[in-house]
Amino acid sequence: MKFSDELQDNIVILDVSGKIMGGDETALFHGKIHEYLDKNKKNFVVDLGKVDWMNSVGLGMLISALTTVKNGGGRLVLANIDKIESILTITRLITVFEHYDTREEALKSFA
């Protein structure tokens, strides 16, 4: 897994790619979320359009991120979940995460 981050209109965009299977990148991902929350940036879009595959550790990473952001008084939404929609549906997490078909729709949801 790789990820990049950018700030657009006070919204943090985390662009995730590759296979989400845990490891050091997971800790870096959470560290980045905490870093933005510490700077009072509380709105997050996690763009999963370039994710090839995700296991249960990856699901845990997303759940943990959602919990961290909510506990920090913020909002986290997912974008481009096509490739992982089935695992979110099977685990019923599709009802837990706010999700949008595109990054643009996700960004507009904060307006």
The residue length of the chain stands at 111
Model confidence at 21: pLDDT above 90: no
39-93: per-residue pLDDT in tens?
A: 999 999 999 999 999 998 999 999 999 999 999 999 999 999 999 999 999 999 9
The whole-model pTM stands at: 0.95
- Residue 22: pLDDT band (50, 70, 90) is confident
What domains does the chain contain, in order, with CATH numbers? 2-108 (3.30.750.24)
Output the CA–CA distances (angstroms, integers) from residue 91 to 24, 26, 32, 49, 62, in the order listed: 24, 20, 26, 19, 13
Are 98 and 109 in contact, with CB atoms under 8 Å apart?
yes
In tens, the pLDDT along 29-53 reads 999 999 999 999 999 999 999 999 9
